[in-house]
Copies of this chain bind each other. A is one copy, B any other.
Amino acid sequence: MTHRLSGNTKFFGVIGDPIAQARAPEVWNALFALNGVDAVCVPLQVGPDRLTDFLTGCRALKNLHGLLVTIPHKPAALASVQHPTDRAAQVGVVNVLKLTETGEWTGDILDGVGFVNGLESKGHGLQGMRALVVGSGGVGAAIAFAIADAGAKEIVVADILAGRAQDLADRISTTGVPSTVGAAAAAGFDVVVNASPVGMKTTDSLPVDCAGLSPSTIVADAVMHPRMTQLLSLAADRGCVVEPGFNMMDNQLAPMAEFFGFGPGDWSPQAAVRLG
Contact = CB atoms under 8 A, between A and B. Distances in A.
Interface of A: 1-9, 11, 14, 17-26, 29, 40-47, 50-51, 53-64, 103
B43 A60 contact: no
Contacts of A20: 6-8
A43 B7 CA distance: 5
Given A7-B21, A54-B61, 9 more contacts: A1-B1, A2-B4, A5-B25, A5-B41, A7-B20, A8-B43, A44-B61, A47-B60, A53-B60
* Residue among A40, A44, A61, A64 with max Cβ neighbours from chain B (10 Å): A61
Nearest to A46: B60
Contacts of A3: 1-2
This protein's copies in its complex: 2
Contacts of A40: 5, 40, 42
A24 B3 CA distance: 15
A19 B63 contact: yes
Contacts of A43: 5-9, 11, 63
B2 A44 contact: no
29 contacts: A1-B1, A1-B3, A2-B4, A4-B29, A5-B41, A5-B43, A6-B20, A7-B14, A7-B18, A7-B20, A7-B22, A7-B24, A7-B25, A9-B43, A11-B44, A17-B62, A19-B62, A44-B63, A44-B64, A46-B61, A50-B59, A50-B103, A51-B60, A53-B57, A53-B59, A54-B58, A54-B60, A57-B58, A57-B60
A73 to B, nearest CB: 11
Contacts of A47: 60, 62
* A-B interface, 10 closest residue pairs, ranked by CB to CB distance from nearest: A57-B57, A50-B60, A54-B60, A7-B22, A45-B62, A45-B63, A5-B25, A7-B20, A7-B43, A54-B57
A273 B56 CA distance: 38
Contacts of A29: 4-5
A20 B45 CA distance: 26
A46 to B, nearest CB: 5
Nearest to A25: B5
Nearest to A26: B6
A132 B39 CA distance: 44
Contacts of A2: 1-5
A3 B3 CA distance: 9
A246 to B, nearest CB: 16
Nearest to A12: B42
